[in-house]
Chain A
Amino acid sequence: MLRWACRLSGLVIAAMLAALILVLANSALPAIRKFGAGFITSSEWRVNEIERPLRGPDGKVVMGEDGVVMEILPPAFGALPVIYGTAATSLIALVVAVPLSLGAALFLVRVAPRLRIAGPVSFLVEFLAAIPSLAFGVWGLFVLAPMFQNSVAPLLRRILEPVPGLHWLFFEKITVAGRIIERPIPLNGRDLLTGSLILAVMILPIITSVSRDVLRSVPRIQIEGTLALGATWWQSCVAMLRYARSGLLGAVLLGLARAAGETMAVTMVIGNNNQISASPFAPAQTMASLLANEFGEATDGMHRAALLYVALILLVMSLAFNVVARKLVVGRPSHAVH
């Protein structure tokens, strides 16, 4: 009886996931049909229709027999800016968070037990994971962004702007009426970089705690073996990391999945502009923040379908990260290192 109940629960969860994907795909169908795979590579996201004078290749208005020739730009939905925003913020977050997390995990496994503080530190790391993302967002908005705007950005600008080849960090190009304008990016702390830093803080706990568990499962004999062979303490740590590398990669992927799907905190600090800018100081948008911003008011059919298409891509991506990560963490540790 109980066995059947358990089986049923398992089935319900699997069915829920399947239903989620099916419903999303079905609702996104108009957009999938219309844009297909080009959705992923197109960078224009505009809900309104624009009617304007047609301009020739020279930037001049084209004149027809009855005066100015008009062109109508229909609404366009391309997901490249938000895919870029998600990828860039997640990668920067990983670059910041992974070294810190691995260091913290090593500390918890190799150093903290000797100092008898493994318990409290582990608790703190897990506590960090339990803080609601909104709290991180508020902290980013009211502490991190103003700090960046008032102290870090002026310093960066003074030091880096004169450096040749770094001009692109501080200027953006905008096309207006056929002409390109270059203007300074206002460094106000609501940008891709701040979004990434918030994400880094948010994924620290999960990467740290999974890494800690992975490192703990490294057989004691492995560590003692390296020490017996004359390895220094540091060399034995490196050997330990190499032994556990597939599990650690899994931990990193779990962090990546969390970073890609994180919504509220990022929405509050990323600047929410659907654009691709080379500079990390320019506002950007992630898939999740786009949905948070636009879904509530998306009443036009194609706009809604396009947003659901983005949601579907995000879901499939997160699912893929999670599946690979689970395989790596739960799977047998590699025996390549001896």
Chain B
Amino acid sequence: MGVIRPALISALAAWCGATALASEVRLSGAGATFPAPLYTRWVSEYQREHPDVKIDYRSIGSGGGVKAITDKTVAFGASDAPLTEKEIAAMGGTDAVVQFPTVLGAVVAAYNVPGLNKPLQLTGAVLADMYLGRISSWDDPRIKELNPGVALPALAVTPAFRTDGSGTTYVFTNFLAEQSADFKGEVGTGKQVKWPLGQGGKGNEGVAAVIQQTAGSIGYIEHNYAVANKIASAAVQNKAGKFVSATVESVSLAGEGAATGMKGTVLRADAWNQPGEKAYPISAFTYVILYRNLDNIKAGADARALMAFWWWCIESGGKYATEMEYAPLSPSVRDAVAKALGQITHAGNPIPAGR
């Protein structure tokens, strides 16, 4: 493939350029808010090279993205949580769907504890018990034990959570449920769950507002959002027993371990709690969802333009991802994605790989 692709790419580029000049291509996508800044960046970088392709991405949330692609009102959907069996069935079954990861993100446990001299270290079990109400003060012996030498105040713990359905909640609850059987039995996992206590906020900004304004609060937000807003977050213990902070490198490492199970056209892999000394444990892929036969897009040229864009993102988008604190896909995951994208057709005609 490596030999054939450059030739194909240049041939296609010439061909695409010739046809696309005739008319402008307009495509729309909708879904997850987490990768939205990156997708917007990808679109604008891509448009620099292909000014005739206009792609509009609306960040309406993962749930909304799945609904939009199921209803065929968009060219592509995007979701932080992989499609469920039910959702795949609603789209026409496994054979009708292509789902592929684009980048990895991380969910961080952000906190507002005044007067700390060092960043906190937490485990999944302790986080779960904070959310279950069992650990109600920051000077609890179990938090002290993980943070020797840190002066922890006798301050009430206020857990903060997302009230809207979100991939962030999906990743965080799955991670906690794996660490705590009681959390799994009381709260469970999902894009939206019933929290036994604490304060709700809508979106990352809602949770961040609770955290920033409430002394003693702990909440889960996207890594990028925490970085952009300079909110302190904890190093979390990974499967190897090491405390790791979320960084582009530590999240990428989590993705590498998770990639082995990716097969077929509906790719998914749980990237939380992966082995590896330096892997950040609350990591996850974010996905783009397409129809395998792109009949939701009328013109063949539009379908080819969409695929050219995604090929470009997978091959050349990584550097923009790193710049923006997203973790790019590892080579093995990119291979799985390339295989899945190669399966896509329009009106029964295969769409060749490349730009």
Contact = CB atoms under 8 A, between A and B. Distances in A.
B192 to A, nearest CB: 4
Contacts of A299: 63-64, 66-67, 165
A283 B61 contact: no
B22 to A, nearest CB: 38
Contacts of B184: 50, 52
A288 B133 CA distance: 27
Interface residues of B, number: 45
B199 A188 contact: yes
B64 A296 contact: yes
B286 interface: no
Contacts, number: 125
B201 A272 contact: yes
A18 interface: no
Contact of B133 (A73, A176, A285): A176
B201 A50 contact: no
Interface in A146-193: 146, 149, 172, 174-177, 181, 183-184, 186, 188, 190
A186 B158 contact: yes
Given A52-B185, A188-B158, A292 B202 contact: yes
Nearest to B86: A300
A174 B134 CA distance: 9
A186 B133 contact: no
Contacts of B185: 50, 52-53, 177
Nearest to A187: B156
Contact of B165 (A46, A274, A275, A297): A297
A318 interface: no
Contacts of B136: 183-184
Given A50-B188, A176-B132, A296 B60 contact: yes
B191 interface: yes
Interface centre among B64, B184, B188, B200 (most CB of A within 10 A): B200
Interface string B171-214: 00000000000101111111111111111111000000110011
Nearest to A191: B199
B129 to A, nearest CB: 9
A293 to B, nearest CB: 4
A267 B210 CA distance: 12
Contacts of A181: 133-134
B164 A273 contact: no
Contact of B200 (A46, A174, A272): A272
Given A47-B192, A186-B216, A176 B186 contact: yes
Interface string A287-303: 00000111011110000
A58 interface: no
A274 B198 CA distance: 10
Interface string B110-152: 0000000000000000000000111010000000000000000
Given A50-B188, A271-B199, A296-B61, A190 B193 contact: no
A48 B189 contact: yes
A177 B198 contact: no
Contacts of A142: 213
A186 B156 contact: yes
Interface centre among A146, A285, A294 (most CB of B within 10 A): A294
A142 B214 CA distance: 11
Given A186-B158, A283-B199, A297 B194 contact: no
Nearest to B67: A299
A46 B166 CA distance: 15
Nearest to A277: B197
Nearest to B198: A273
Contacts of B186: 50, 52, 176-177
Contacts of B163: 272, 293-294
Contact of A172 (B188, B190, B191, B197): B197
A323 B191 CA distance: 40
B214 A298 contact: no
A274 B61 contact: no
Contacts of A104: none
A145 interface: yes
B134 A294 contact: no
A214 B283 CA distance: 62
Contacts of A44: 194
A178 B280 CA distance: 33
A149 B62 CA distance: 34
Nearest to B216: A186
Given A48-B192, A50-B185, A272 B199 contact: yes
A146 B215 CA distance: 10
Contacts of B214: 149, 186, 188, 190
A286 B219 CA distance: 22
A119 B200 CA distance: 43
A49 to B, nearest CB: 7
A35 interface: no
B305 interface: no
Nearest to B201: A272
A141 interface: yes
**Top 9 closest pairs, chain A to chain B, by CB:** A272-B200, A48-B190, A52-B185, A297-B165, A50-B188, A293-B163, A46-B194, A299-B63, A186-B156
Given A176-B196, A267-B202, A293-B202, 12 more contacts: A46-B194, A47-B193, A50-B187, A52-B186, A52-B188, A186-B214, A188-B216, A272-B163, A273-B200, A292-B202, A296-B64, A299-B64
Interface of B: 60-64, 66-67, 132-134, 136, 156-158, 163-166, 182, 184-202, 209-210, 213-217
Interface of A: 44-53, 73, 141-142, 145-146, 149, 172, 174-177, 181, 183-184, 186, 188, 190, 267, 271-275, 283, 285, 292-294, 296-299
5 contacts: A44-B194, A188-B214, A267-B202, A283-B199, A294-B192
